[in-house]
Structure 1
Amino acid sequence: MTARTTRRTMLGAALAAPAIWGKDAVAQIRRGDELTVGVWGGVQERIVRQYCGTPLEQQHGVKINYVLGGTTERRARAYAERGRPSFDVLYLNISESRQAVRDGVTQAPTANVPNFANLYPLARQGGYGVAFNPVTIVYDRRAVASPMTSWKDFWRDDLKGKVIWPTYPGAQGTSALLMSAKVWGGSERNIDPAFQNIARLKPFAAIQGSQDQLYGMFDSGVGAASVEFGSFTRRYAETRNPNIVVADPTEGQVVAMNVACITTGTRNQALAEAWVNLHLSPECQQAYAEQIYYSPTITNLTLPAELSAKLVMGQAAVEKLVDFDWGVVAQNEPRWSSRFTREIAG
């Protein structure tokens, strides 16, 4: 069976199997219902349209409305509309999703979504985790004396003056700060070791504030190593700069996760659950892995060995991801941001 035939068969199964989310739930999905989904644009929008939106529209005669953009905008809107949401499903990051449940803006995940049973435990918090996208060390193999295998390698003599540190706040900067604390004896509750040791890395080759900025610096030979999302960097390495390596440090990569959240008070509960269930289907998860190297959050997916080697696959690999108390991190962000500006970026 060819890959094209396999995908066509998978999609056909998704279109033809209303029983996957239960007869009672399907009975509540009425023709003409509208589901509003807040999600990122680009490739992610195209994937969810194909594997979630189109099957629901064709099978049930419903309409899916998409609100595209970043998490900052849709999170603010969801909070402003708490209890009377215009979103039925919105996508948040790992920290935002857990806080939204605590604040009553979104619902905790439940087994009402059948594919919930296939989620790794880490992906059952703050909603339904749909993709792991860890943050890790990335480096130019030509500019280092030996491979980087530990977060402590940033402090090696051969990296002096070559480190491109990520700005804070932001996923990359937060991960770099927290892992610096962890490897030097601190934690999210004891951040002093991070600031003290990051300051020892100065002078930096540069401070980067975005992926595009970092990749431009790598292209220009500005520095040797930084902290970035592994998925995007792997794609960059394969398409633009084959000298860039995505490291798998012994202490682990920092978990980052996209989370599908059903709003509290949605009037389309069954349809929202059906949407999430399709996003957690093997065919949708495989599309994410193939197209943007996002790692699956479900256990019932087998991928080709060549692709699996580029992802976080299997229980042992998922358990190695480093998680933090993101509530503590969020509470301290204003104070840490001021300190970063004063002690690191200044």
Structure 2
Amino acid sequence: MTEKKPSLVTRRDFGRLALGASTIIAAPAILTRPVRAQIAPGSRLVVGIWGGAQERITRQFIAEPLMERYGVEIEYVLGGTPERRARAYQERGRPSFDVIYLNIFESRQAVKDGVTQAARDIENSDDLYELAKLGGYGVAFNAVTPVYDATMVDAPMTSWADFWRPDLAGKIAWPTYPGAQGTAALLMAARLNGGDEYNIDPGFKAVAELKPFAAFQGSQAQLYGMFDADQVAASAEFGSFTQKYADTQNPDIMVSKPSEGMPVAMNVACITEGTENQALAEAWVSLHLSEACQRAYAEEIYYGPTIKSLELPPELAAKCVYGEEDVANLIDFDWEHVIAQQGAWSSRFNREIQS
């Protein structure tokens, strides 16, 4: 990958949130297109995806319509991204998966490595934001952002620079590294101080200035427990999960949309190279890009839609990455370079920040 500055436009697998879905939907238009005659009854599509809400939503809005219309079988392989990514690489060219879900940087690398297919024109893909066409088909935007307890700060956090405010001194739960949250926070610290992913020194220096931390947080559950116990005032976390937590458990918690933008995270549906179910895999992805499925993601887990045409009510839109302005404020880094530096940066983090 050619090194370049990040342009405006990821920690562990996304959280698992419960979903109860009962909406009955009509057969989507995609299922009536003549090209789908290629789908043979009895075909089995193997889909690797996270469990919880994402499994339930895709069962209702994708798997069930496909099974009813074509008499096909859908097999789910549930679990974390590392496991299915490793399996997909082991099976390169002779995949057992037909569709796998990866994060933003893993999806791009998988295309380069010939494990999955680059995006091409399929039903609903012309409605995708350009950022969501990289590495496959982006199905959900998320972002890492400052989150805070409004009762423990002097003013709302509207900037990444607010972490360095006097009223937050000693009250911050900094995210561990490596991991999406810790990576995003370190990269933003570098950008605030004249650096970037190619010049990370300013980031380490700035984060070190925040010591001592109230705590280090290595999971959403850990952070939310600390918020509930009034042990910390702020951290960097996925906005969608934190907004759901705030709405359902702790209304004192606020999710910022900082002026400098937010590092993007994105769930990507990837069709494997060598799949014997190309048409069925494309039909699966097309339904994931449908307004019905994208709306369910937004309503149930506050994942931002990757299609431009979806209209959300203002109250819901405010809780998601939504619309041209929000998408333009997502920061897309050179993830290949960032991952290549993970070992070195992890050693520095342990030595300079967490020690």
Tell me the TM-score range normalised by the shorter chain. Answer: over 0.9
The reply to whether residue 12 of structure 1 matches residue 26 of structure 2 is yes
Tell me the equivalent position of 1:193: 202
Q: Could you list the runs of 4 or more consecutive aligned residues of structure 1 that deviate by over 2 angstroms after TM superposition?
A: 16-19
Aligned amino acid, residue 169 of structure 1:
P
Cα distance in 1 for partners of 2:139, 2:49 equals 12
Deviation at 1:13, TM superposition (A): 3.7
Aligned amino acid, residue 18 of structure 1:
L
Cα distance in 1 for partners of 2:131, 2:222 equals 31
Report the secondary structure of 2:237's partner residue. strand
**Aligned counterparts, 1:204-283, within 5 A:** 204-283=213-292
Report the secondary structure of 2:262's partner residue. coil
Cα distance in 2 for partners of 1:324, 1:137 equals 18
Aligned amino acid, residue 230 of structure 2:
G
2:57 corresponds to which of 47, 52, 57: 47
Report the secondary structure of 1:318's partner residue. helix
Tell me the equivalent position of 2:34: 23
Tell me the equivalent position of 1:57: 67
Cα distance in 2 for partners of 1:153, 1:32 equals 56
Tell me the equivalent position of 1:290: 299
TM-score, structure 2 length as denominator? 0.92
Report the secondary structure of 1:255's partner residue. strand
Report the secondary structure of 1:137's partner residue. strand
Cα distance in 2 for partners of 1:231, 1:304 equals 16
Deviation at 1:17, TM superposition (A): 4.8
The structure richer in helix per residue is 1
**Aligned counterparts, 1:122-141, within 5 A:** 122-141=131-150
Aligned amino acid, residue 34 of structure 2:
K
Cα distance in 1 for partners of 2:302, 2:191 equals 27
1:131-173 residue CA offsets vs partner (Å, 9 max, x unmatched): 0011100001111111111111111111111111000011111
Tell me the equivalent position of 2:118: 108
1:303 corresponds to which of 312, 321, 328: 312
Tell me the equivalent position of 2:90: 80
Cα distance in 1 for partners of 2:152, 2:71 equals 56
Cα distance in 2 for partners of 1:103, 1:191 equals 27
Aligned amino acid, residue 101 of structure 2:
Y
Aligned amino acid, residue 116 of structure 2:
T
| Runs of 5+ consecutive residues of structure 1 not aligned to the other structure | 1-6
Aligned length: 334
**Do the aligned residues in 1 keep the contact of 2:31 with 2:66 (CA within 8 Å)?**
no
Cα distance in 2 for partners of 1:70, 1:229 equals 17
Cα distance in 1 for partners of 2:262, 2:149 equals 18
Cα distance in 2 for partners of 1:234, 1:17 equals 33
Deviation at 1:306, TM superposition (A): 1.4
Cα distance in 2 for partners of 1:107, 1:124 equals 11
1:334 corresponds to which of 339, 343, 348: 343
Cα distance in 2 for partners of 1:309, 1:39 equals 27
Cα distance in 2 for partners of 1:165, 1:304 equals 33
| Runs of 5+ consecutive residues of structure 2 not aligned to the other structure | 1-22
The reply to whether residue 148 of structure 1 matches residue 157 of structure 2 is yes
Cα distance in 1 for partners of 2:319, 2:224 equals 19
Cα distance in 2 for partners of 1:199, 1:330 equals 22
**Do the aligned residues in 1 keep the contact of 2:30 with 2:123 (CA within 8 Å)?**
no
Aligned amino acid, residue 76 of structure 2:
Y
Tell me the equivalent position of 1:93: 103
Aligned amino acid, residue 200 of structure 1:
E
Greater displacement, 262-271 / 310-319: 310-319
TM-score, structure 1 length as denominator? 0.95
1:174-199 residue CA offsets vs partner (Å, 9 max, x unmatched): 11011111111100111000101100
**Do the aligned residues in 1 keep the contact of 2:148 with 2:234 (CA within 8 Å)?**
yes
Deviation at 1:23, TM superposition (A): 2.0
Tell me the equivalent position of 1:3: none
1:291-316 residue CA offsets vs partner (Å, 9 max, x unmatched): 00001000111111211121122112
Deviation at 1:107, TM superposition (A): 0.4
Deviation at 1:240, TM superposition (A): 1.1
Percent sequence identity over aligned pairs? 64
> Residue 331 and residue 17 in structure 1: after superposition, are their counterparts in 2 closer, same or farther (change >3 A)?
closer
Tell me the equivalent position of 2:326: 317
Cα distance in 2 for partners of 1:287, 1:169 equals 31
Cα distance in 1 for partners of 2:256, 2:216 equals 20
Report the secondary structure of 2:227's partner residue. helix
Aligned amino acid, residue 211 of structure 1:
Q
**Aligned counterparts, 1:166-181, within 5 A:** 166-181=175-190
Aligned amino acid, residue 206 of structure 1:
A
Cα distance in 1 for partners of 2:300, 2:322 equals 16
Cα distance in 1 for partners of 2:37, 2:52 equals 33
